[in-house]
Chain A
Amino acid sequence: DTGVSQDPRHKITKRGQNVTFRCDPISEHNRLYWYRQTLGQGPEFLTYFQNEAQLEKSRLLSDRFSAERPKGSFSTLEIQRTEQGDSAMYLCASSYPRGESSYEQYFGPGTRLTVT
């Protein structure tokens, strides 16, 4: 078990460009979450998948954002026509059910996006 990995770790792009991030969850974890975090704030939920199905999307996820999880394994988050306000850390987490407990989430190191 190598943990949740995210790629790239850092991305600098110009306003208007499209960017895509990848998240590889812990194997056998059926849930995958995406969050956005800006400086000094806690992570903001964006969306989550159970297997390949996208079950919940935040209102923060504008039409320029799209996420996929083909085959229920890795996931991608794409931002189209990036804006400076998209600059943030994008975090991915995965989890699986544990009996009476909740879905404890394991977070990746994040992808830091800077839009110039």
Chain B
Amino acid sequence: LAKTTQPISMDSYEGQEVNITCSHNNIATNDYITWYQQFPSQGPRFIIQGYKTKVTNEVASLFIPADRKSSTLSLPRVSLSDTAVYYCLVGDRNFNKFYFGSGTKLNVKP
């Protein structure tokens, strides 16, 4: 089961672009990379998922280099409401089980 490593915390200001990088050196061929967001006292919420190159949706972009040993979640123009913990996890296509890790606590300042 591929484990992930993320920075413990990051600070940013409103309106800035935030990039959170996750290391997953032991990622397997069939593994997908998924990012979740979690607010205090709530369950995690799916943000984005990818396998390779770049994926973009209405809230974020996910950049995955060719070797797939890391990935970067990009949040454009963050606001105070983006203050949360962000988890990177990897799992096979069937996602039979996950490893969430400790996540990155993002603090957005005014």
Interface band, chain A: 20 to 34
Determine the main DSSP class of B at the interface with A. Answer: loop
**Could you write out 11 A-B pairs with CB less than 8 Å apart?**
A42-B102, A44-B100, A45-B97, A48-B96, A58-B97, A93-B43, A102-B94, A102-B95, A103-B95, A109-B43, A110-B41
Interface band, chain B: 20 to 34
A105 contacts B97, C-beta separation under 8 Å: no
A-side contacts of B94, CB under 8 Å:
102-103
A107 contacts B44, C-beta separation under 8 Å: yes
Q: Give the one of A42, A45, A55, A91 with max B CB within 10 A.
A: A42
A-side contacts of B96, CB under 8 Å:
48, 55-56
A104 to B101 CA separation, bound complex (whole angstroms) = 18
Give the A-B contact count at a CB cut-off of 8 A.
59
A102 contacts B32, C-beta separation under 8 Å: yes
* Residue ranges of A at the interface with B (Cβ–Cβ < 8 Å): 4, 35, 40-45, 48, 55-56, 58, 91, 93, 95, 101-110
